[in-house]
A and B are shown apart, each in its own frame.
Chain A
């Protein structure tokens, strides 16, 4: 039957042609990051507001000491589909930071409290300063980090991932790295200034273990463990990298339902038109 052949053709094409692109990601890990169950995974996924707020706390108190997030603006924190802080809270958060503005009428730059329209302030004025403070290593900008990291899946996982809609390589990797610090495996010597990490490519990472149990205070009774911090901050980074994910998946469902109904109508119209033609 012809319908079947086109569906088969499309599916086969998807399988055969789309697959190899992701097969070539950097390997060299000792183990693959465990796949966590994320609230934003799957066709009906959406961000967990409480988790994003906790993740933001970890991000603000720990990560931003060294990492910039240049595409984040304070105003983003109150937009729909994110941590959903109130506008008053965002104003409060922004005002805790001093922002360089200017020049004023006398030509001088000046400091003022942050506003929601301001960019998230970077911890260092430039990459060189960041390197100088971090033993020569540059802490990457975190704005799209959750989409800029991945891990090697290999055959046949990279094909099935398209069908199960697995798109969480980045967050799983970030969570794994944050929880992957340990004493070096036997026989491994770690260079001075580097740290052993099970999931980092090459296993030697410049970032010292950033999180420890009880480091960030959660007020909602969530366990204050490294694993929980890592999960929450990874989720926050995913939101920062993909702030419109909720809208995307919601609109996607509406679009697909509409198209399925439309294709049904078209199928029966087509059948009726072709009814008296042998073909």
Chain B
């Protein structure tokens, strides 16, 4: 792609190194010269925010792991040891615990941005599927991380979720005992969850690498959902344009994050998780962390256990097929009047399922959960495939440059790619 790898090492040492391992050239082409569509809005900064959050979680997590002990009789006390006696341990733990929620807030905005602007369509199918895999790994990492403080919600959440696998016919029971390392959630479960919780972020980092590679190969989508026609007219180099914008957005996000860390650190958690795990006493309501609630609602809305488990996993798996389920040729919802309406209905349904997942599973809540679950799947399996044939889309701009000029009124474009000369 034009605009890539314009790097020419100047010093002899750099030339010697570059001819043996073109590492600096790779960094230059992907973080400096990489062409970014001009018309990106702030929803495109969430990739940077998510990368930042992954680093925050890994760094704070490694520090916590230095003080934590994954042994059931002491795990709860070790977390309190971190909160009380480790220097700034409370800060590390609140960063890590709230960081998980921030990670999911950012990833949900990132996913919904992709849904709205059609970022999953050709040629970005693989990029999108890698994203779905990251999302799955994140959910696994978050679930196992929540078990580690070994409070009541940790223990009972782990019991409920691992028990889902018992719904598998014939081998279900065996699989669940294999996951537990015993006949109930216990110390072996805690220990293996800790091992996996430490492993998964590095797997996420690996898939994020592929995700960014795929992104840089096909180029970014943009709010108008049209292809880059001319690198010089439609794009700006990543540095300084995207770097400064991303940095600004990351700092705004840290302010939002800080509100939770410093002022409401337990708002997103559950008070029951400050009660040590007790296999003899079940909490009044077992609720997962907020980011799982829509799927929890889908699970509970199906009257059959196996059916519920299948529906829950299908609700995530269906995302991977989205590039082929959406039949429209036009990417961005800006030019898809009908899709835009259905997108917002879907957003309300998804959030509504989250609310329903937090409520007791009886009465009106179950009925509404069922309607919303049906709609959730209908959106992907019926509405999106049909819309492509029915919808009359608006005319697309000829190019990104045209779209930008039409929107902002004609301003100076000359010299855009060389701000340092201004």
- Complex Cα distance, B291 from A260, in Å, reads 28
User: Judging by beta carbons under 8 Å apart, are B271 and A147 in contact?
Assistant: yes
Main secondary structure of the interface of A (DSSP, over half): helix
Q: Does B202 contact A (CB under 8 A)?
A: no
List the A side residues contacting B38 at CB < 8 Å.
Answer: 277-279
List the B side residues contacting A9 at CB < 8 Å.
Answer: 42-43, 109
Q: Taking A169-B271, A256-B255, A266-B244 as contacts, is the C-beta distance between A277 and B413 under 8 angstroms?
A: yes
Q: Does B262 contact A (CB under 8 A)?
A: yes
Tell which of A18, A26, A140, A249 has the most Cβ of chain B within 10 Å: A18
- Complex Cα distance, B84 from A150, in Å, reads 21
- Complex Cα distance, B360 from A251, in Å, reads 39
Q: Taking A21-B287, A276-B415 as contacts, is the C-beta distance between A162 and B358 under 8 angstroms?
A: no
The one of A2, A25, A252, A259 in contact with B41, judged by C-beta atoms closer than 8 angstroms, is A2
User: Judging by beta carbons under 8 Å apart, are B262 and A24 in contact?
Assistant: no
User: Judging by beta carbons under 8 Å apart, are B270 and A22 in contact?
Assistant: yes
Q: Does B240 contact A (CB under 8 A)?
A: yes
For B360, the closest partner residue in chain A by CB is A24
List the B side residues contacting A14 at CB < 8 Å.
Answer: 105, 256
List the A side residues contacting B401 at CB < 8 Å.
Answer: 278
Tell which of B41, B43, B248, B275 has the most Cβ of chain A within 10 Å: B248
Tell me the smallest distance from the CB of B331 to a CB of chain A, in Å.
19
Proximity bits, A49-82, B CB within 8 Å = 1, else 0 = 0000000000000000000001100001000000
- Complex Cα distance, B166 from A18, in Å, reads 30
Q: Does B104 contact A (CB under 8 A)?
A: yes
List the A side residues contacting B177 at CB < 8 Å.
Answer: none
The one of A10, A20, A167, A241 in contact with B358, judged by C-beta atoms closer than 8 angstroms, is A20
The one of A19, A21, A28 in contact with B289, judged by C-beta atoms closer than 8 angstroms, is A21
Tell me the smallest distance from the CB of B175 to a CB of chain A, in Å.
29
Q: Does B303 contact A (CB under 8 A)?
A: no
Q: Does B135 contact A (CB under 8 A)?
A: no
Chain A, interface residues (CB within 8 Å), range: 35 or more
Tell me the smallest distance from the CB of B315 to a CB of chain A, in Å.
16
The one of B108, B248, B271 in contact with A266, judged by C-beta atoms closer than 8 angstroms, is B248
The one of A21, A76, A140, A243 in contact with B270, judged by C-beta atoms closer than 8 angstroms, is A21
User: Judging by beta carbons under 8 Å apart, are B412 and A276 in contact?
Assistant: yes
User: Judging by beta carbons under 8 Å apart, are A23 and B359 in contact?
Assistant: yes
- Complex Cα distance, B40 from A171, in Å, reads 47
User: Judging by beta carbons under 8 Å apart, are A252 and B289 in contact?
Assistant: no
Proximity bits, B30-57, A CB within 8 Å = 1, else 0 = 0000000011111101000000000000
List the A side residues contacting B419 at CB < 8 Å.
Answer: 273, 276-277
User: Judging by beta carbons under 8 Å apart, are A150 and B271 in contact?
Assistant: yes
The one of B236, B249, B283 in contact with A6, judged by C-beta atoms closer than 8 angstroms, is B249
User: Judging by beta carbons under 8 Å apart, are B251 and A262 in contact?
Assistant: yes
Tell me the smallest distance from the CB of A243 to a CB of chain B, in Å.
6
Q: Does B346 contact A (CB under 8 A)?
A: no
User: Judging by beta carbons under 8 Å apart, are B252 and A6 in contact?
Assistant: yes
- Complex Cα distance, B239 from A269, in Å, reads 13
User: Judging by beta carbons under 8 Å apart, are B245 and A263 in contact?
Assistant: no
Q: Does A148 contact B (CB under 8 A)?
A: yes
Proximity bits, A146-159, B CB within 8 Å = 1, else 0 = 01111000000000
User: Judging by beta carbons under 8 Å apart, are B104 and A26 in contact?
Assistant: no
The one of A6, A241, A253, A255 in contact with B45, judged by C-beta atoms closer than 8 angstroms, is A6
Q: Taking A18-B290, A20-B293 as contacts, is the C-beta distance between A13 and B108 under 8 angstroms?
A: yes
User: Judging by beta carbons under 8 Å apart, are B267 and A278 in contact?
Assistant: no
The 5 closest A-B pairs by CB, nearest first: A252-B262, A6-B42, A148-B274, A21-B290, A20-B358
A–B Cβ pairs within 8 angstroms, 10 of them: A5-B42, A9-B42, A17-B351, A20-B293, A256-B262, A270-B248, A273-B240, A273-B419, A277-B416, A279-B38
